Every structure is written in C-alpha cells, then in structure tokens.
Amino acid sequence: MSKQTHSFQAEVAQLLHLVTHSLYSHPEIFVRELISNASDACDKLRFEALNNAALYEDAPQLEVRVSFDKAARTLTIQDNGIGMSAQEAIDHLGTIAKSGTKDFMSKLSGDQKADAQLIGQFGVGFYSGFIVADRITVESRRAGMKPEEGVRWTSGGTGDFEVESLTRAARGTSVILHLREDAEEFLNAWKLKQVIAKYSDHISLPILMEKEEWKDSEKEGEPGAMVKTGEWETVNKASALWTRPKKDITDEQYQEFYKAISHDHENPLSWSHNRVEGNTEYTQLLYIPAKAPFDLYQQGKHAGVKLYVKRVFIMDDAESLMPQYLRFVRGVIDSADLPLNVSRELLQESRDVRLIRDGSVKRVLSMLEDLAKHDRHDAPAEGADGVTDVVSEEDKAKEGKYTQFYAEFGAVLKEGLGEDFGNRERIAKLLRFASTSSDAPSVSFADYKARMKEGQEAIYYITADTLAAAKNSPQLEVFKKKGIEVLLMTDRVDEWALNYLQDFDGTPLQSVAKGAVDLGKLQDEAEKKAFDEAAEAFKPVLAQLKEALKDKAEDVRVTTRLVDSPACLVVQDGGMSTQLARLLKQAGQKAPDAKPVLEVNPEHALVKKLDGSMHFHDLAHILFDQALLAEGGLPEDPAAYVKRVNALLA
C-alpha cells in the first residue's frame, strides 16, 4: 500500500484540541493510557490464542517495553500483543470507536476545566499522546499476518493522518512519540520509572525498560553520563493488583487502578476488594465512581466489569456479572472455576456465573448501605449520658458521599425495583426523595415513616416532570392543609419503578394522583359529613359536567383533596398516570388511551358559577384544560382553549 492521507473524524479533531489544551496540568497521564492500551492488546491476543495458539508465533511471553532516544527526542511504548491491520489502524486511530460519541461531543462547553473533567469520564486513550508530542508514529502488524503486511500510521494531531505499508517482523504495536521541547522530562529513565510505578504498577504483564549504568567520561574534566547496558529489567510488580493481599495495597494504588480501568480522572467514591470461597471461588474488586459517565442512559449500555478467568482476560463489560441497574459499577471479577473458553452465551446459563453475580450485587449494595449509614446531615449526636458521639476519621471520610452518589446514580438505582425482586427491600431502603418538608432528595422511606402523623395509614407520594410542578400540584392541597408530608418524585423512572413496590416495611404506598382521596382517621366526622352534603347538592351539576366532558373524562366527581384550586385530574387506582402516558408518547411508545377522572372543588367560586351558567359548556372545558395544564400537560386543542378563555374574559 502506497502512502495514503485520511482526515480525522470531526469529533476526533475536536477531542484532540481539547486534550492538548485542557489536560496540560496532568501531562504524565499519557503514560498510563498508552501502557493500558498495550496491556489490553496483549490481553486480546491471549484470548484469541485460546482457539489459535499459532498467533503467539515465536514469542509466547507477552510484555510491554518502554524506551527513549534523547538524540531523536522520541519515546516508544511497544507491545507484542494482537497488533493492527492497515484497515484497523485507519478505523481505530482515525475515529472514536465508542458508542454515544455524539452525546459526548454535544456536552462539551468550551470551558477548559469542565471539558477536562468530561474527557476524564470519556477516556482520552491513544489521543493523550498528543499532550506531549507534536507528532506520533504508530507501527504495527496484526498477529497471524505476514511481515510485509505491517502498517505505519503518522499524524501531527491536526486535521489528517497518513497510512502506508510497512515490513515488520515482530507482531504487535510500537507507539513512537516525537516529544515537544517542553516534554523532555520524559526522556529520563528515573522519571519514567516513577510515573510507571504511580500509574501502571498494577499491570499484570512485565513492563520492561533498558538498564542504565553510570559511565565516567574518557576526557578529563568532562562529566560522565548514564549509558544503556543492553539488558532489560522489569520496572513494575507485574502481578494483577486484585491478586495481591489487601494489606499490601495502598489507597493510592487502588485509586490508580480504578483510573486505569475506567479512564476516569477522579478518584472513586468507594471500593471493595474480596476473595470469595465456597461453592465457587472468585476475587472481586468493585468500585463506585464519583461521576456518572456521559453514556449512562444510553440504550444497551452494559456494566463496566471486566471478567478474568485465572487471571486471563476474557471480556469487557460482562453484562452477565452485574444487572443493568448497577451498570455504573466498575471493576474486575476473576473466577477460578469458569472455563477459559467461556462465551457470552455460556455465561448466561452458568450456575457459577449466577452465584458470582448474586454475590457481587450483594457486595455493591453493602457498599452503598455503608455510605448511606455514614451520610450524616447533622452534628454528632449527644447520647443519654451527655457524651457526644465520637466520629472516626474513616467515618468522616465517608460523610456526604452517599448524597454525591445519589445525585449521579439515584435514578439508575431505582430501576432495580423492577429488575431485582430478591433485593427489592434493600434497594427501597437506599432510595431518597424530595418531599413537602425538604426540597433536597434526602428523605428515605424510613425517614418518612418515622415522621408519619398519628392515624396515618399510607406513605403518600406524587410524580411530576419537575420539582416545581410537584410542589405546586393542586392534588397536594388537602395534605398541606393537614400537615401531611408527601414525597415528591420527579425522575422519569419513578412511576414505572413504584409499580413494583406496593409497600415499605408493611406500610402501603399511595399516589395522591390515583383513586379517590381517603385520609382515613386523619379526616374527622364533621369533614366527612360536609363532603357528603356537598356531593349530594352538586349531583345535578356533576351530571351536566359528565355529559359535557364525556369525550375527555372517564368520570367527574367532587373531592376533598382540593382547597384553593377548582379542579384536578386523577386516574383510577392501578391506572397509568397522565404524566407517564405523556412520557411514553414522547418516546414514541404506545400508551393506553385511558381517560382521566376530573375532580372538582364544589366550594370554589369558579365551580359554583357552573350552576345555571349560560357558558356552562365552555367553563366545563376550561376547567378540564386548566387541570391538565396544572400537572404539566397541554390541552388537546390549545387554540380552542385560548378562544374559550378570551370569550369569557371579553
């Protein structure tokens, strides 16, 4: 193949600009990214060679080599992994080969600090080399291909790159960085060893560097220099971090390992490292991130857990090991029992995998419960003996972390109510909501139960598109009047998830927008009598309203739930709310055509005007459309609504 010039994908060009301008304060991360890529390439070769040992050619020992040339000002990171064909080099190095790229690019703001954090969530990978290099050359040959089928890829990190054929005896890839003058610190063996120890010590493959020794100058008066000996030495521990005893691993090493496998720049909120023995043996190292990735809600997004079998990498994103509602979890699971040739299909059927999955889910929920337990909102409590509780430094470090977690992943966690029947109660205890007592999503079901009024028989909640819509809903009026707390739920997933949770700790959950309001013992006899009398007197008007609104409302009835508003819409018990039906239609999905129930306040001046009004039909439709507007919907015919209102105003 003669030399060809290709243009970068538009998103790559934008990302390259951001990488070189936003990450200058952490230039050494390119070492971590490129060594991580090299390790992945070796893992992929090891996996493919399970079915084709010939791919090892004459070099069965997998390794990564780091070398530099001060005179040429180049730094080379070389692996003998799977390598790339010419087409793979064009595809992998010229485009961002990740789903959700457009979503990612649309979130970039132009603010260097904010964009740097976003790049951290996305992963800079190969392109991080341009933080320190003004030109990068990649030379590669895929395992199993002929030496003359190698490829050389070159780019200055601007708008295009060149690709040409190359004869390369060794399989694998060499990434050659032509360093800028301000990056010459990376042409130093001591500096490189320091960076490798910090970021890549956990890599299970040996990372080799050429030994150096001091040699005096042969000329008198001239200083000596470090000279390469031609021997190579391993500069990392070359053992998988999760296989080491916990006591030998520092917090910083755990954090750097997380950053390497997640391509995140922030430390995780929490992690758990355990060796499980019993019916099935496995090691788990699981992390809770601090920030949600940009593609968290993308359809088909899988959990970020890597599967190893006896320390041999098998697959990324092993969805069989972690349910969808825990897809934010990152980490490694290494099984001692699964076969090395395990497939995704076999994973779905394996009893061992089910045991690993169950154990890993329980471990993650335990981590979250621990964070929630230490999420103190108040000062340490004073005990009965007058002594203030002592809070350990470890506990202090966990304060506020659950609030941080819930802001990022709370909506995803709620999906577990419908997905994980066995852990539903544990998940329910971890949920937090805003309420009529707190705008912050900090109220648990247990908190709510502890504050329930005497005689209250249900946990009341309302779902809405926004917090403002929930707080100002007419359906809350009688609850506010009586001082009854109502949970305010504004995530899209809420109503779907609560279909799977009928009660909490024996107390039923009741939507204030479903069914007739029944406050039971909280409503005195005088109120009930007054309501019955009003309902009886209003029967003729109700009959007229039902006739006028027969195409819009399933029923019309008087209610005690309204205090200041003339009307509101509710649905029958067990029915789909108008809000959920609206969301489904917006998503292009089918929703039932069930009509809502219109509830009216017979004491409201506007409702009283209905009796004997010559504008009865128009007033009836205005009442219905205003009730729809109050809950975030739109009239079926907005122009007709405006026309009716204008006619009455005139």
496-508 average pLDDT score: 91
**Res 25 pLDDT > 70:** no
4-8, 96-100, 314-318, range with the lowest pLDDT: 96-100
Per DSSP bridges, beta strands 459-463 and 507-511 are parallel
Taking alpha carbons only, the member of 129, 165, 146 closest to residue 57 is 146
**Res 380 pLDDT > 60:** no
Instruction: Give the pLDDT confidence score for residue 118 in this predicted structure.
Output: 47
Give the pLDDT confidence of 310-330 residue by residue, as tens digits. Answer: 777 777 777 788 999 999 999
Note whether 409 and 292 are within 8 A (CB).
yes
Instruction: Give the pLDDT confidence score for residue 100 in this predicted structure.
Output: 41
184-210 average pLDDT score: 89
pTM for the model stands at 0.70
CATH, domain 242-373, list 3.30.1280.10, 3.30.230.80, 3.30.930.10, 2.60.40.1180:
3.30.230.80
Half-sphere exposure of 536 (CA within 13 A, CB side): 6
Task: Assign 98 a pLDDT band (cuts: 50, 70, 90).
Answer: very low
Give the pLDDT confidence of 427-470 residue by residue, as tens digits. Answer: 999 999 999 998 888 999 999 999 998 888 899 999 888 899 88
Give the pLDDT confidence of 133-162 residue by residue, as tens digits. Answer: 999 999 999 999 999 999 999 998 887 889
Half-sphere exposure of 543 (CA within 13 A, CB side): 6
- If one counts every other C-beta atom within 10 angstroms of the C-beta of residue 331, the result is 27
Instruction: Give the pLDDT confidence score for residue 341 in this predicted structure.
Output: 65
Task: Assign 77 a pLDDT band (cuts: 50, 70, 90).
Answer: very high
Tokens of 161: 């790159």
Tokens of 524: 């005195």
**What is the 3 state secondary structure string of 608-625?**
HCCCCCCCHHHHHHHHHH
3-state secondary structure of 525: helix
Task: Assign 101 a pLDDT band (cuts: 50, 70, 90).
Answer: very low
Instruction: Give the pLDDT confidence score for residue 59 in this predicted structure.
Output: 92
Instruction: Give the pLDDT confidence score for residue 144 in this predicted structure.
Output: 94
Instruction: Give the pLDDT confidence score for residue 301 in this predicted structure.
Output: 62
Taking alpha carbons only, the member of 265, 188, 262 closest to residue 22 is 265
Instruction: Give the pLDDT confidence score for residue 508 in this predicted structure.
Output: 92
Whole-number Å distance between alpha carbons of 631 and 522: 26
220-224, 228-232, 244-248, 404-408, range with the lowest pLDDT: 220-224
Instruction: Give the pLDDT confidence score for residue 307 in this predicted structure.
Output: 86
**Res 165 pLDDT > 80:** yes
CATH, domain 432-649, list 3.10.180.10, 3.40.980.10, 3.40.50.11260, 3.40.50.150:
3.40.50.11260
Whole-number Å distance between alpha carbons of 140 and 85: 7
Note whether 114 and 3 are within 8 A (CB).
no
Residues of the chain with CATH 3.30.565.10: 4-214+228-238
Phi, psi of 533 (to 5 degrees): -65, -40
Instruction: Give the pLDDT confidence score for residue 143 in this predicted structure.
Output: 96
Task: Assign 121 a pLDDT band (cuts: 50, 70, 90).
Answer: very low
More confident residue, 396 or 438: 438
Mean predicted lDDT score pLDDT of the chain: 84
DSSP-based helix, strand, coil % in the chain, nearest 5: 40, 20, 40
Tokens of 194: 């320091």
16-20, 67-71, 197-201, range with the lowest pLDDT: 16-20
Instruction: Give the pLDDT confidence score for residue 116 in this predicted structure.
Output: 46
Note whether 362 and 337 are within 8 A (CB).
no
165-177 average pLDDT score: 96
Q: What is the Cα gyration radius of the chain?
A: 32
Task: Specify the CATH class of 4-214+228-238 in words.
Answer: alpha beta
Q: What is the DSSP string of 247-289?
A: GG--HHHHHHHHHHHH--SSPPSEEEEEEE-SSS-EEEEEEE-
CA geometry: angle 238, 239, 241, nearest 5 deg: 125
Give the pLDDT confidence of 553-571 residue by residue, as tens digits. Answer: 888 988 888 888 898 888 8
Half-sphere exposure of 301 (CA within 13 A, CB side): 18
Instruction: Give the pLDDT confidence score for residue 503 in this predicted structure.
Output: 93
22-31, 64-73, 277-286, 352-361, range with the lowest pLDDT: 22-31
Q: At 616, which amino acid appears?
A: F
Note whether 580 and 492 are within 8 A (CB).
no
